Amino acid sequence: MWKDLFVQRKYATLKVTKKNDFIKDENVSTDNIDVDMFTKCPSCGEILINMDLDKNLKVCLKCNHHFRIGSKERIDITFDKDSIEYFDTNMKSLNPLGFPGYSEKLKSLSKSLGINEAVVTGRGKIEGIDVCFGVMEPNFIMGSMGSVVGEKLSRMFERAIEMKLPVIVFCASGGARMQEGMLSLSQMAKVSAAVKKHSNKGLLYISVITDPTTGGVTASFASLGDIIIAEPKATIGFAGRRVIEQTIKQKLPLEFQTSEFMLEHGFIDMIADRNKMKETLHNILKIHMGVKGNE
């Protein structure tokens, strides 16, 4: 019995750094592994091969966690290839309040992300059906809405009125952009007014809410779609979770302010997985055009 305890077992030692502690195979040396090949799912911890993850539209193959994606990827997976015409690509933010650090932030972000602002607008096709669109960029100052985001979206709605086209907006935003003060807050009214004008013409507006959509964007165009669709488990809310917890001095349950919570409380029409989104949008558009089946 005691003897067993002292039996020398054979162990393989692994050189595992904290960043890539996913290497389990003892025959693989960690030195030659390209860390950029793998991503750890923040929800279930599964180690995913990036190629597989990309093929699955950045959705975890194990737990269906929807990773945040940028505007470029969103456009690629939603609209028909080569169908896109972009609007107002040269519009840029200024620093109208002289807010410290803002100009520098704008400059470095447009350089690193290759886009000028937190929304990309344009016109494109979904399975051959023409729509105008806005896709927010969650990586650009948290997708926050300043003058440019408000102006680009409003112009896009106005162009959709001229062209008599439906609008689809993919929302992802932390809300109004603090660095532009009241000018940012006013954009909520501006875009909402444009939504109303578009709506008055009998045109369809679909709002697609993705993670995260909060604050001034929830309190304006994100909540104003004729049809509102959300990706699974996206954070959707008005006030920030921490702010509420501080106000009520209680911890909030995990499911608070998620897509599922919003569906239950009647504020969105449906939840659609990313790999079904294009099909869902296409089906809705077809019914609105009175096109049945594959005509």
Residues in contact with other proteins by the rule CB under 8 A: 88, 90-94, 96-100, 147-148, 150-151, 154, 176-190, 192-197, 200, 215-216, 218-224, 236-240, 243-244, 247-248, 252, 256-257, 265-267
Q: Which residues pair with 129 in a beta bridge?
A: 126
Distance CA(173)–CA(137), nearest Å, equals: 8
Tell me whether residue 100 or residue 114 sits nearer to other proteins (CB atom): 100
Order the strands of the 205-213 sheet from edge to edge: 85-87, 119-126, 129-136, 167-173, 205-213, 227-230, 270-271
Neighbours of 196 (CB within 10 A): 12
Tell me whether residue 181 or residue 232 sits nearer to other proteins (CB atom): 181
Tell the smallest beta-carbon distance from residue 207 to other proteins (Å): 10
Tell the smallest beta-carbon distance from residue 124 to other proteins (Å): 22
Q: Which helix (H) or strand (E) holds 129?
A: strand 129-136
Tell the smallest beta-carbon distance from residue 266 to other proteins (Å): 8
Tell the smallest beta-carbon distance from residue 201 to other proteins (Å): 12
Tell the smallest beta-carbon distance from residue 178 to other proteins (Å): 6
Tell me whether residue 27 or residue 200 sits nearer to other proteins (CB atom): 200
Tell the smallest beta-carbon distance from residue 251 to other proteins (Å): 11
Tell me whether residue 84 or residue 224 sits nearer to other proteins (CB atom): 224
Tell me whether residue 232 or residue 240 sits nearer to other proteins (CB atom): 240
Rounded to whole angstroms, the maximal C-alpha distance in the chain is 86
Residue 92: C-alpha distances to residues 7, 36, 119, 135, 176 (Å): 70, 32, 11, 16, 16
Distance CA(239)–CA(43), nearest Å, equals: 23
Tell me whether residue 41 or residue 88 sits nearer to other proteins (CB atom): 88
Residue 160: C-alpha distances to residues 51, 218, 252, 277 (Å): 37, 22, 40, 21
User: Which of 217-241 are b and which e, b meaning 16 or more Cβ less than 10 Å from the residue's Cβ?
Assistant: bbbbbbbbbbbbbbbbbbbbbeebe
Tell me whether residue 126 or residue 195 sits nearer to other proteins (CB atom): 195
Tell the smallest beta-carbon distance from residue 172 to other proteins (Å): 15
